[in-house]
Amino acid sequence: MKIVRSLFLWCFVLAVTGCESILELSPDAEFAPDNVLTNENGIKTLLYSAYQNFQGQAEINNVLAVCEVSTDMMYNTGGNANLFLSQFINFTWDPSLSQLQGLVWGPYYRVIRDANSVIENMGNVQASDEIKRVLIAEARFLRAYCYAYLYSWYGTVPLRITSTQEQDLPRAGADELEAFIESELEASATDLPEPGAEELWGRAHKGAALAVLSKFLLNTKQWEKAAAAAQRVIDLDYYELFPVYKDLFKVENERNREMIFVIPCINQFEFGNWYAAGAMPPGFVSTPQLPEYRWVPGIQNFATHYRFRDSFIRTFSEDDDRFVLVVRSYVNTAGQTIDLTATVDNTRSFKYFDNNAVSNAHGNDLPIVRYADILLSRAEALNEIDGPNQEAVNLLNEVRGRSSLGGFDLGDFPNKEALRDAILRERGWEFFSEGKRREDLIRHGKFISSARERGVNADDHHLVFPIPQSEVDANTLMVQNEGY
């Protein structure tokens, strides 16, 4: 029943977001236990269960917060969320912290479980070979994405690829895990539909597989492969930068060709983007920077607050069009204009705001990979290969140009390190509030050092999170990460 419910929920999400192609559910007999994995609708039910676990809104919103408050970019105060986010701010997390299991490990291994079942049972399904090929590719994509993300959080993890493996599995070796993720993303890219041809918005397609592959290869510092995968995304000749940055994330501009893969959101509690509820300052009504956004009764303003660190905000140029989404003053319910810069670390991100939000649920999709990320990823990889070089600078300038910033000349970078630092700065300005800062700082070797500069007692073992204690207790072959 849980799987069937997930399908209904997913179809509801897609229906209200305006999808033209919605699955028509067949009679209940098709979902009887003996039939559910032998027909097309039944196997799609299982696949949508994987998507539902992958895109759980409570988890994904908190994962985004974790990946920013643990860095030099964001801060958090107040509310229930701060009870656990403070541990990520102060680097005091330990294996007993329930969010280490509840936010990523548990949901993503449920995705892997469902994906494995889809793949294993496809031979029994009465459907065309083309349909089965695409569904298997989707399952392989979701499974590979989850392993890549688990790897980024915990280091190596057990590689469970069938339902018949032993209950207790040791952690896979790094080479084995990396090779599996790469091969699965390559295979899924071959069989997935072209971007724009996927059956429903939010489902996997070739562009998503290649983009996730490029990011995985970048984060594992496989520079030549990362550059090549990014070029394959560019060569699809489908994606482009959305012309106006501040409008890129608006509900009315969803499905634009910069968004390669997203978490679809609508203004319903189970499926909403919660970020704005934690970004609004107390008593927020409006801001002169973004007059189109206005609070109305019914939109929830959380007691917890996501706040930029001043040290990050000071790096922006006033001429940067992206800076308008950093709210520095607002009008409150008493009609007073409040200067947020008068308080330390108190400016706010308004990247996701929906005037039609219901309670804390805003309808802005959460991007996983954007085209700007692919351009900067290729620039970074090319620089690491033999930089500084002209193509890397051109790609960097392409992203900067959208935000009204002047371009660089190759001569502005005397060495590889100078261009590397420029790309990292650009990534901060481009991807704030998208959950990328932690992985970027780790890849650039600055995650620990920047924490120490903030006075945090950070050590090298903090580059990965501990395996959840519940998993160590349940698996006799599990070995905890060093330092925990």
Residue 46: domain span: 2-191
**What's the CA gap between 447 and 461, in Å, rounded?**
11
- Residue 58's pLDDT is 74
- Residue 213's pLDDT is 99
Mean predicted confidence (pLDDT) in 43-68: 92
Q: Note whether 46 and 178 are same-domain residues.
A: yes
Mean predicted confidence (pLDDT) in 4-29: 37
Total structural domains in the chain? 2
Q: Note whether 328 and 179 are same-domain residues.
A: no
Q: Note whether 64 and 175 are same-domain residues.
A: yes
Mean pLDDT value across the chain:
93
Crossing angle of the two packed helices 390-402 and 416-431, in degrees rounded to 10: 20
CATH number at residue 81: 1.25.40.390
**Of 347, 364, 381, the domain-final residue:** 364
- Residue 8's pLDDT is 36
Confidence grade of residue 137 (pLDDT, cut at 50, 70, 90): very high
**What's the CA gap between 44 and 148, in Å, rounded?**
23
Q: Note whether 34 and 161 are same-domain residues.
A: yes
- Residue 286's pLDDT is 98
Lowest mean pLDDT among 16-25, 114-123, 135-144, 281-290: 16-25
Considering the domain boundaries, does residue 58 fall inside one?
A: yes
- Residue 33's pLDDT is 53
Confidence grade of residue 56 (pLDDT, cut at 50, 70, 90): confident
Considering the domain boundaries, does residue 303 fall inside one?
A: yes
- Residue 394's pLDDT is 99
Considering the domain boundaries, does residue 228 fall inside one?
A: no
Give percent of the chain above pLDDT 90: 90
Mean predicted confidence (pLDDT) in 243-253: 98
- Residue 10's pLDDT is 42
CB 477 within 8 A of CB 159: no
Mean predicted confidence (pLDDT) in 134-148: 99
Q: Note whether 183 and 279 are same-domain residues.
A: no
Q: Note whether 159 and 13 are same-domain residues.
A: yes
**Of 340, 364, 388, the domain-final residue:** 364
The yes-or-no verdict on residue 335 having pLDDT over 80 is yes
388 cis-preceded (ω within 30 degrees of 0): yes
Mean predicted confidence (pLDDT) in 155-165: 97
- Residue 269's pLDDT is 84
Question: Taking the C-alpha atoms of 254, 257, 262 and 264 in order, what is their torsion angle to the nearest 10 degrees?
Answer: 30
Q: Note whether 186 and 87 are same-domain residues.
A: yes
For the segment 346-397, what is each residue's pLDDT rounded down to a tens digit? 999 999 999 999 999 999 999 999 999 999 999 999 999 999 999 999 999 9
DSSP string, 90-150: TT---TT-THIIIIIIHHHHHHHHHHHHHHHHGGG-BS-HHHHHHHHHHHHHHHHHHHHHH
Q: Note whether 19 and 129 are same-domain residues.
A: yes
The yes-or-no verdict on residue 76 having pLDDT over 50 is yes
Considering the domain boundaries, does residue 337 fall inside one?
A: yes
Considering the domain boundaries, does residue 331 fall inside one?
A: yes
- Residue 4's pLDDT is 35
CB 232 within 8 A of CB 374: no
Question: Taking the C-alpha atoms of 260, 262, 265 and 271 in order, what is their torsion angle to the nearest 10 degrees?
Answer: 160
For the segment 185-224, what is each residue's pLDDT rounded down to a tens digit? 999 999 999 999 999 999 999 999 999 999 999 999 999 9
Q: Note whether 157 and 274 are same-domain residues.
A: no
The yes-or-no verdict on residue 284 having pLDDT over 70 is yes
β 329-332/337-339 pair status? antiparallel
Q: For 192-283, where are the alpha helices, taking DSSP H only?
A: 206-219, 223-235, 275-279
For the segment 106-128, what is each residue's pLDDT rounded down to a tens digit? 999 999 999 999 999 999 999 99
**Of 164, 191, 218, the domain-final residue:** 191
- Residue 36's pLDDT is 72
Considering the domain boundaries, does residue 408 fall inside one?
A: no
Residues whose CB falls within 8 Å of the CB of residue 102, separated by 6 or more in sequence, listed in order: 59
- Residue 270's pLDDT is 85
Considering the domain boundaries, does residue 159 fall inside one?
A: yes
Q: Note whether 274 and 132 are same-domain residues.
A: no
Considering the domain boundaries, does residue 469 fall inside one?
A: no
